[in-house]
Structure 1
């Protein structure tokens, strides 16, 4: 008799465990469904970046190592100038807004705090110009020269910016495109007018 009670007791525990696991798994599925749907919906909403986020204070520390600071600066200028050289000739409003936002976020998040704060002051005086590839490239060259003036470095001739910072634009074969036919990408050339920007230009 005691053996039968022991077996009945174990079966009751097993049954309760089975019910408990079933309950947990079924309630978990119900919870996961709406959370996943909410998460997906939240990630599909348009990203809206406020002025406070774009132009907020950079809180990075000063970089004391001059070599590291120079390497970071050179790499950053190469990135910015190459980006301008690859910017569309006729950007959409969305393209222009994206580039303008990127420039402000770049200044805000730049890992050299001192450099970033100086660059943010330059952006206040000379806001990003993103109407065309040429204006974006001329603006980038102009602000680079503003930094060069502050650092007592030579001023770059902006009419040569397209040669100096090559965009790396190669003629990749595109399926369905006739060989020898060029796409709508035109090489970057700046006139003397485009190289000189006025405040807020």
Structure 2
């Protein structure tokens, strides 16, 4: 008859089996562990918005640099370019807000200085830059911008011995798409274009309802 194993061996075997079982259980992947390792993707509406990259600004060195384009020898092309450029120039002034924000006012100034640098006629650009230096852009309102633009255009007309435009008609000649009262105000300030271009103090009468009521 076989002899029963000693009680001590049974105890050691039981302890070894218990330790092995606990080790095996610890190695099994639990649902909670799976969630901790691979969390569910966050809904888009819960994700924090990334800040927009800053918009680069045009520095004074870029604005005041020398003309980029070279000499334009084709006189026919030069005249066609001039007519198209003045059309864009005055329409921009006429469509500018009558009560611009500081940012809008600065944007128009930057546009005009860059317009001078990038004008496709190099010698024309030099003349226009000289005018900008002598008569800096007036961008406090649509009327001021339009009157300033008319004055500057007449400076070019005078240099080229062309007829001088009556700036009091600027509100009718270039349609701003605005009301009659705003057109009249633009024409009234156009009649004082010299004072506007020289940044002299002037009195402007507003007729009709204003934007404030």
TM-score bracket, normalised by the shorter chain, equals 0.5 to 0.7
1:158/1:199 CA distance change after superposition, 3 Å: closer
Q: Secondary structure of the residue that 1:130 maps to in structure 2?
A: coil
Deviation per CA, 1:13-40: give whole Å up to 9, x if none: xxxxxxxxxxxxxxxxxxxxxxxxxxx9
Summarize the Cα distance change of 1:192–1:120 in structure 2 as closer, same or farther, 3 Å threshold: closer
> Could you list the runs of 5+ residues in structure 1 that have no partner in the other structure?
1-39, 171-181
Q: Which residue, 79, 86, 109 being the options, matches 2:95? A: 86
What is the TM-score when the length of structure 1 is the normalising length? 0.67
Residue of structure 1 aligned with 2:163, choices 135, 151, 154: 154
More displaced 10-residue stretch of structure 1: 116-125 or 56-65: 56-65
Q: Which residue of 2 aligns with 1:103?
A: 112
| TM-score, scaled to structure 2 | 0.64
2:210 matched residue in structure 1: none
Match of 2:54 among 45, 58, 63: 45
Q: Contact 1:134/1:194 (CA < 8 Å) preserved in 2?
A: no
Determine if contact 2:90/2:174 at 8 Å carries over to the other structure. yes
Q: Which has the larger radius of gyration?
A: 2
Q: Give the CA deviation at 1:186.
A: 2.9
**Deviations for 1:100-130, whole angstroms, at most 9, x for unmatched residues?**
0000000010010000000000000000000
Matched, 1:197 2:195: yes
- Note the C-alpha offset of 1:49: 1.2
Q: CA RMSD in A?
A: 2.3
Q: Verify the 8 A CA contact 2:109 2:139 in the aligned structure 1.
A: yes
Give the length in aligned residue pairs: 148
Summarize the alignment of residues 16-165 of structure 1 with structure 2, pairs less than 5 Å apart: 44-165=53-174
CA contact (8 A) 1:126 1:198 kept: no
Question: Quick one: higher RCO (CA 8 Å, sep 6+), 1 or 2?
Answer: 1
The 1-side partners of 2:188 and 2:90 are apart by 13
Structure 2: runs of 5+ lacking an equivalent: 1-49, 200-213
Q: Deviations over 1:153-189 (max 9, x none)?
A: 111000011211223x27xxxxxxxxxxx7xx93232
- Tell me, yes or no, if the aligned pair for 1:58 and 1:107 is still in contact at 8 Å: yes
* Contact 2:96–2:141 under 8 Å retained in 1: yes
